[in-house]
Structure 1
Amino acid sequence: MRPDLTFVLGGAASGKSAFSEQLVVSSGKNRFYLATSQVFDDEMRLKVKHHIAQRGSGWTTVEAPFDLTPTLAGLTSGDVCLIDCATMWLTNHLLAENDLLHEQGKLLQALKTCEGQIVIVSNEVGHGIVPDNALSRRFREAQGRLNIALAAQADVVVQVTAGLPLVLKGQLP
């Protein structure tokens, strides 16, 4: 039995994307990559280029910084989709001043009704100090709430630290 939704979280540069990519490749299904980042500078452009090289060929990439629903609605049981990452998706909505609870609800519903297998990556941001400004504190709280909701809905939850996966919920295939 395959998990329909696998949630992979960890800190920055923890190896969570590489681990998630391997999960997707090992599924043997049609691979989709939902890219949520927006490229505003050379540093981000280089990071995206690195991610593309790391995952290699054989992926259908969809850039979706805000609305993941159309791609998720179009997936079939023969597809697997990597959403990388929920943190960038949330940041995009926060900075656009969108209703975060509404957007989170739409995402959770789209994940629930999706016919394809999904692996979603997110950052764990709750291990640091309390941020010194209101926007950062708002982001940290929203990210924590989103991670809790994704983990609750997921069949499998994996935390990646130093490239090492630790299954927190469910069982890997």
Structure 2
Amino acid sequence: MLPGLSFVLGSIGSGKTIFAENLVLGTGRTPVALVTTPPDDTGIQATLDRRQAAQAAWQTRHDPLEIGRTLAGISGDSAVLVDALPLWLVNRAEAGHDLAEAEAELMAGLALCAAPVVIVSRAPEICEDATLRAARGRLNMKLAATAGLVVNVTAGLPYVLKGNLP
């Protein structure tokens, strides 16, 4: 059984998204992908096509800014994949939003969400703006502390840091 919040970390190309998708699909609930790229972003299209070709029909919601509000309104018969947290944080920063406020809104939305949620993220990068890097580090730590399951994926292999795989 998947906990209310699962947090999946890994580097770019590590297999973290596919692992997270399989966690969501394993619940047997309606899979919902909450995508943080804008709907017109062509870079995400291959991932969306792969999801649609999967056995389950993913419901895809594009929400580059307000995922906390979106999560709060999702029903308990679903399981949610948030793909991906780093881009959402960049979107909020570029839109001029306070990042601490963004974090609080996300945590409030998670608390109100009736469905299990799997969030995909990665470690902050040295090339990021220092403010954004610090905000992502704090948010990753807060999510890891809150989550019932925390997994780091390397080369497609999951390493459980907290909790148990379903």
Equivalent runs, 1:1-173 vs 2, <5 Å: 1-38=1-38, 45=42, 47-57=43-53, 58-125=57-124, 130-131=126-127, 136-173=129-166
Contact 2:68 / 2:107 at 8 angstroms: preserved in 1?
no
Q: Secondary structure at the match of 1:22?
A: helix
Structure 1 letter corresponding to 2:48: I
Q: Distance in 1 between matches of 2:45 and 2:75?
A: 28
Q: Which stretches in structure 1 are left out of the alignment for 5+ residues?
A: none
Root-mean-square deviation (CA, aligned residues, Å) is 1.7
Are the counterparts in 2 of residues 11 and 125 from structure 1 also a CA contact under 8 Å?
no
Q: What is the TM-score of this pair, normalised by structure 1?
A: 0.87
- Residues in 2 aligned to 1:5 and 1:25: alpha-carbon distance in whole angstroms: 15
Residues 67 and 106, structure 2, Cα contact 8 Å, conserved in 1 = yes
Tell me the amino acid that sits aligned with residue 90 of structure 1: L
TM superposition score normalised by structure 2: 0.91
CA distance, structure 1, for counterparts of residue 120 and residue 149 of structure 2: 12
Indicate conservation of the 8 Å contact 1:18/1:54, yes or no: no
1:6 deviates by 0.5
Query: Aligned residues, how many?
Result: 163
Unaligned segments of structure 2, at least 5 residues: none
User: SS at the partner of 2:14?
Assistant: coil
Aligned-pair distance for 1:99?
0.5
The residue identity in structure 2 corresponding to 1:12 is: I
- Counterpart CA distance in 2 for 1:144 and 1:56 is 32
Shift >6 Å, 4+ stretches: none
Whichever residue aligns with residue 14 of structure 1, its letter is S
For 1:27, what is the secondary structure of its paired residue?
coil
